Amino acid sequence: MPELPEVETTLRGIEPLLCSHTVAGVILRTEKLRWPLDRNLETRLTGARLKSVRRRAKYLLFDFGRGTLLLHLGMSGSLRVVDPQIPAGKHDHVDLIFRDAGTLRLTDPRKFGGLLWVDGAPELHALLHNLGPEPLAKEFDAEHLYRCSSRRRIAVKSFIMDQKVVVGVGNIYASEALFRALIRPDIPAGGLSLERCRRLVREIKTVLSEAIAAGGTTLQDFQQVDGRPGYFKQNLLVYGREGQPCPSCGKQIRNLRIGQRSTFFCRSCQH
């Protein structure tokens, strides 16, 4: 599910509801997600006040002062703030119950998401310290992309999904950004000119910003913190549109497998 816009949407939903509130209890309903769940989470969190929530790449970082809770939503995870009286469903794996506020409930059918307690500075954690720049930051620019792509033979689509190059671009927005930038997804990254890098950077920033404004994209599982879906799906130009006419030239949108992932593009517009 979640690429950067969905995680950002989740962050913006949670923050005003839970920040500065104190954890009253924790319920774990599964042994493990991506990693085994910390059985001491209840002890670590009960009585702790949520100082801030922020996002780095597709991770959410809950700062409790005494430590940080690191959360990744994987492919099918989502977070809601609910009334704790609402009974948990089959795939509701974790509840963080806040005093005088809602309960943060993690749902994740495929269990590819992960929850990790980090004692020290979270940015030093192995999961975070080798990540590329944030796509919406000014450090992510044409020169950066051009430098990284030099001599790389990997398909440009897999390249922009590499979190060491730039974070947050997943399978949906990679296809969308390449379509907007008129770049074929299967050409080697190393063949891009600086000018084409400039266009690609611009389109990545644009499509991610637009998707955030729409509350993300819901294909199946994703929901915003209040339970509404993301509304960007209707704005997807190529993703999931195999066989439909290209919005630009009218020729059929193609589906190609790159790196085991479905990739949508227009043969006649993208080169």
- The binding site for DNA (CB under 7 A) comprises 1-3, 6, 32, 34, 57-58, 72, 74-76, 90-91, 109-112, 127, 152-155, 158, 161, 163, 170-172, 189-190, 216-222, 230, 259-262
Angle between helices 194-213 and 142-149 (to 10 degrees): 120
Q: Tell me if residue 58 is catalytic.
A: yes
Which amino acid is residue 202, in one-letter code? R
Q: Give the active site residue among 110, 152, 202, 261.
A: 261
Shortest reach from residue 1's CB to DNA, in Å: 3
For 137, the token pair is 């930051």
Contact 145, 177 (CB under 8 A): no
Shortest reach from residue 76's CB to DNA, in Å: 6
Shortest reach from residue 9's CB to DNA, in Å: 10
Residue 265 belongs to what H/E stretch? Answer: strand 261-265
Shortest reach from residue 43's CB to DNA, in Å: 25
| Of 131 and 201, CB closest to DNA | 131
Q: Provide the β-strand partners of residue 245.
A: 252
Q: Give the active site residue among 3, 6, 176, 203.
A: 3
Residue 69 belongs to what H/E stretch? Answer: strand 68-72
| Of 2 and 23, CB closest to DNA | 2
Helices and strands in the chain, H and E counts: 7, 10
CB neighbour burial string for 64-81, b if at least 16 within 10 angstroms, e if fewer: beebbbbbbbbbbbbbbb
Shortest reach from residue 262's CB to DNA, in Å: 3
How far apart CA 92 and CA 79 sit, in angstroms, is 9
Q: Tell me if residue 210 is catalytic.
A: no
Q: Give the active site residue among 56, 58, 184, 196.
A: 58
Q: Tell me if residue 111 is catalytic.
A: no
> What is the separation, in whole angstroms, between the first and last Cα of the chain?
28
How far apart CA 97 and CA 141 sit, in angstroms, is 41
Contact 16, 52 (CB under 8 A): no
| Of 142 and 161, CB closest to DNA | 161
Q: Tell me if residue 242 is catalytic.
A: no
| Of 34 and 199, CB closest to DNA | 34
| Of 98 and 222, CB closest to DNA | 222
Catalytic residues: 2-3, 58, 261
